[in-house]
Amino acid sequence: TSMTSAKIQVNGVHLHYQLTGEGSHAVLLLPGMLGSGQTDFGPQLKSLNKQIFTIVAWDPRGYGQSIPPSRDFPPDFFERDAKDAVDLMQALKFKKFSLLGWSDGGITALIAAAKYPTLIHKLVVWGANASVTQEDVRIYNGIRDVSKWSEKVKKPLEEMYGHKYFAKTCEAWVDGISRFAEKSDGSICQQLLPDIKCPTFIIHGEKDPLVPQAHAEYIHKHIKDSR
């Protein structure tokens, strides 16, 4: 099946996306911190069933090929990504679609499913969290300096961004996400979880080095009928 790679103007920025498949079930793949459709979802773009699904992988603003603008992290950056993601799918003329989000993309997907319930068909998240604890901040600070990252993880991102943008954006992300821990409950989107009405599947890696398992359990507990 052919793959479309293009940009479309959404909310004043040009967002890059890849699209493949001709199935009736539209699915949006949402990448994690510093990720893009290509770096985070190569296997899914290749292997998801093209007869059943139409698959879209996007680069959030400031990531991947959705530069310019440079990436920044205002207090509402997850809400901004959620609106961009939904508006992108609407600009591509999908009436209803499912969300597959990993890490930050999982948080974005949770917010989108809660805020735009009539548009979201099904939801799958993995490596996501709905709040930030002091322990999380300690873990995030451990990855602040990208020169300490393993070659395997670092290489594709350095190739995509160049060292300077990659290093600077990672530091800005740590500062941006750590800000949630300053709130009394540390919430990113905890209050929105009960608003999610679509079928929801939560996956968590037992050895996830960045997101402790309690986060997945919290999300499961607060989304009715989730699995």
Q: What is the pLDDT of residues 46-64, one digit of tens each?
A: 999 999 999 999 999 999 9
Residue 105 has pLDDT above 80, yes or no: yes
Which is nearest to 109 in space by CA: 203, 180, 174? 203
Q: Which domain holds residue 23?
A: 3-130+188-222
CB 39 within 8 A of CB 157: yes
- 28: in domain: yes
Q: For residue 157, what pLDDT is reported?
A: 94
> 151-161 vs 37-47: helix axis angle to the nearest 10?
110
57 CB neighbour count, 10 Å cutoff: 29
Alpha carbons 207 and 199: distance in angstroms, whole number? 26
Number of independent structural domains in the chain = 1
Average pLDDT on 84-98 reads 98
- Show the CA angle centred on residue 118, arms to residues 213 and 196, nearest 5°: 25
Average pLDDT over residues 174-193: 97
In angstroms, rounded to a whole number, what is the distance separating the alpha carbons of residues 204 and 202? 7
In this prediction, residue 1 carries a pLDDT of 73
Confidence tier at 5 by pLDDT (50, 70, 90) = very high
Q: What is the pLDDT of residues 128-150, one digit of tens each?
A: 999 999 999 999 999 999 999 99
Residues contacting 91, CB < 8 A, separation 6+: 8, 9, 10
pLDDT at 154: 93
pLDDT at 84 over 80: yes
3 pLDDT more than 90: yes
| Interior angle at CA 108, CA 145 and CA 56, nearest 5 | 100
In a domain, 217, yes or no: yes
β-pair type (25-30, 53-59): parallel
User: In CATH, what number is assigned to the domain containing residue 198?
Assistant: 3.40.50.1820
Closest listed residue to residue 120, CA positions, set 83, 88, 95: 95
Determine how many CB atoms are found less than 10 A away from the CB of residue 221. Answer: 10
CA distance linking residue 112 with residue 120, whole number of Å: 8
Report the percent of the chain where pLDDT is more than 90: 99
